[in-house]
Amino acid sequence: MKYNHLGRAGIKVSEISLGSFITFGKQLDLKQSKHIMQLAFDKGVNFFDNAEVYAKGEAEVVMGKILKSLPRNKVVVSTKIFFGGDGPNDQGTSRKHLLEGTKNSLRRLDLEYVDLLYCHRFDPETPIEETVRAMDYLVRGGYALYWGTSEWTAKQLKEAIKVAKELNCIPPTVEQPEYNLFHRDRVERELVDLCEKDGIGLTTFSPLAHGVLSGKYHKGIPKNSRLGREEWLKPENLNEQVKKAKKFAEIASKIGCLPSQLAIAYCLKNPNVSSVIIGASTEKQLIENLNSIEVKSLITKEIMDKIYKI
């Protein structure tokens, strides 16, 4: 396992990390989640991602129980605040929700602090100055070591950095965008300057496009699959994506790897990506995904050109 700096920050994260979206507290019970997370840790994964909204907080509860058996100084734990509930102050990045949401997440995780704390989305109803001051307070107060954003545009992130400098506040360190072969523009074009000039690290999610690039939907949507369980994740152009995924699978077969491994390896090849967040519901799936590290060297310019042609 390779460990990368989070942009220009001193902290290092494993190039492949494990997320808890849909799996922890929902698809997997505590025993199953612990097996997957412990195995990932044993294989070199040190970064584990969560959010207050995952399984309505239960994912944090499950991960918190598992973390009791892992050395705290050996892991990097993150959570994300925005979607906290249905009340008038339970969503967004107001000072009130960021502080209360973070404290609630820490209580569920049973931790004194998280390493990374994200604003899960941009909040157009809250002044950016308020959000930046609140995140600065949380970092200076020891609730988090670094803060960042998730699914913010480059323009929104640049404004946050600008405001942080003007207010003498701690600026964001990391952005967590979706990144896969169907969603490339944000990472490969829009955020490049922020990574190179401002030192922003990227912890990307959904490298398999919710499983489409793994080939599991070539013959329809299995009931126990991610799209089978979460209808809202289904893209409008699924049929078109599946056609491309079939061609992509042919490339993977020719170089002797699984399409899922090639898809993850593609994301790992991007020098601005600090860590690729994967999900796994079985030991077999986890091991296969972690072995994507070995596929990076197989992606030659010729292979890349074939992928881009699709």
Catalytic residues: 54
Structure tokens at 77: 């734990």
Contact 43, 73 (CB under 8 A): no
Q: For residue 181, what are its two tokens?
A: 């072969």
Nearby residues of 4 by Cβ (< 8 Å), 6 or more positions away:
12, 13, 15, 201, 274, 275
Alpha helix segments (H runs only) across 70-153: 95-109, 128-140
* CA–CA gap between residue 29 and residue 36 (Å, rounded): 11
Beta carbons within 10 angstroms of residue 127's beta carbon: 13
Residue 266 CA to residue 260 CA, distance in Å, equals 10
Distances 35 to 16, 24, 49, 51, 205 between C-alpha atoms, Å: 17, 11, 16, 20, 22
Residue 42 has phi, psi (to 5 degrees) of -65, -30
Q: What is the DSSP string of 269-289?
A: T-TTEEEEEE--SSHHHHHHH
As a dihedral over the C-alpha atoms of residue 31, residue 33, residue 35, residue 40, rounded to 10 degrees, the angle is -170
CA distances from 255 to 34, 44, 159, 249, 284 (A): 34, 25, 43, 10, 21
CB–CB of 99/137 below 8 Å?
Answer: yes
Neighbours of 132 (CB within 10 A): 26
